[in-house]
């Protein structure tokens, strides 16, 4: 967590129960402010935030453009937004049943394409950079549990050859397979 490294951080979630769960960090001596808010209407002044991190969260937005615009409003010049662990719809991963159980429980669940993420950031005046997910790299190199699918098992065999090209493979893999997104957006 950023607080462990001395940053002044604020956790924002629409779910107060998730914010209460964050109190578990307090027992470890890690303190941070918590605010219940909608990511489309952030309670921060214009240009008052250095960085905004989303982990498996922004895909819950009904409109990515609105959320990116709101985050851009809050960012200081030179600030950035980081998305991690966001699902991506690819040609082979349509996401037709994505989040069905959560939708039935009343949650917003969406699976956006890589182009939808990038376009929404661009409309907010942000430049993007897409990264190869470390979680997938660890699976392919054997540092994480064995890949569960035949495709990932085959990719693991090819990984020693492909690894030097991972940066160049990232965007095509998002478009084709819909690998989880790691993206930085800034001015």
Looking at the domain assignment, is residue 118 inside a domain? yes
Does the pLDDT at position 125 exceed 90? yes
Tens-place pLDDT, residues 153-185: 788 888 888 888 888 888 888 888 888 899 999
Domain count, the chain: 1
Does the predicted TM-score (pTM) go above 0.75? yes
Of the ranges 13-27, 70-84, 86-100, 172-186, the best mean pLDDT one: 70-84
SS3 of 175, please? helix
Q: Across residues 74-88, what is the average pLDDT?
A: 94
Crossing angle of helices 166-177/114-123, nearest 10°?
100
Report pLDDT for 139. Answer: 80
If you search the block for the tokens 């020693």, which residue do you land on?
160
Looking at the domain assignment, is residue 66 inside a domain? yes
Does the pLDDT at position 103 exceed 90? no
Looking at the domain assignment, is residue 13 inside a domain? no
Looking at the domain assignment, is residue 51 inside a domain? yes
For 34: left if phi > 0, alpha if psi spans -120 to 50, otherwise beta; the answer is beta
Looking at the domain assignment, is residue 148 inside a domain? no
Dihedral of CA atoms 131, 134, 136, 139 in degrees, nearest 10, equals: 160
Looking at the domain assignment, is residue 111 inside a domain? yes
Residue 90 near residue 181, CB atoms below 8 Å: no
Q: Across residues 107-132, what is the average pLDDT?
A: 93
Report pLDDT for 10. Answer: 84
The string of DSSP codes covering 71-104 is HHHHEEEEEEEEEEEE-EE-SS---TTTTHHHHH
* Four-residue CA torsion sign, 121, 124, 125, 126: negative
Backbone angles phi, psi at 167, to 5 degrees: -60, -35
Domain range for 55 is 38-132+180-186
Looking at the domain assignment, is residue 149 inside a domain? no
**Other Cβ atoms closer than 10 A to 140:** 22
What mean pLDDT value characterizes the chain? 86
For residue 1, what pLDDT band results from cuts at 50, 70 and 90? Answer: low
What percentage of the chain reaches a pLDDT higher than 70? 98
Looking at the domain assignment, is residue 123 inside a domain? yes
The CATH number covering residue 111 comes to 3.40.50.150
């Amino acid at each position: 967590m950023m607080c462990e490294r001395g940053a002044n951080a604020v956790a924002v979630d629409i779910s107060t129960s998730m914010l209460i769960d964050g109190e578990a960090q307090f027992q470890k001596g890690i303190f941070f402010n918590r605010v219940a808010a909608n990511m489309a209407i952030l309670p921060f002044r214009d240009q008052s935030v250095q960085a905004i991190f989303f982990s498996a969260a922004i895909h819950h937005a009904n409109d990515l453009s609105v959320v990116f615009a709101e985050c851009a409003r809050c960012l200081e010049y030179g600030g950035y937004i980081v998305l991690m662990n966001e699902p991506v719809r690819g040609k082979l991963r349509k996401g037709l049943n994505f989040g069905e159980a959560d939708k039935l429980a009343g949650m917003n669940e969406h699976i956006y394409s890589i182009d939808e993420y990038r376009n929404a950031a661009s409309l907010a005046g942000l430049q993007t950079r897409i990264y190869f997910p470390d979680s997938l790299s660890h699976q392919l190199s054997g540092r994480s549990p064995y890949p569960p699918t035949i495709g990932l098992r085959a990719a693991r065999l090819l990984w020693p050859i492909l690894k030097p090209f991972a940066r160049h493979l990232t965007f095509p893999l998002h478009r084709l397979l819909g690998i989880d997104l790691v993206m930085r957006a800034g001015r």
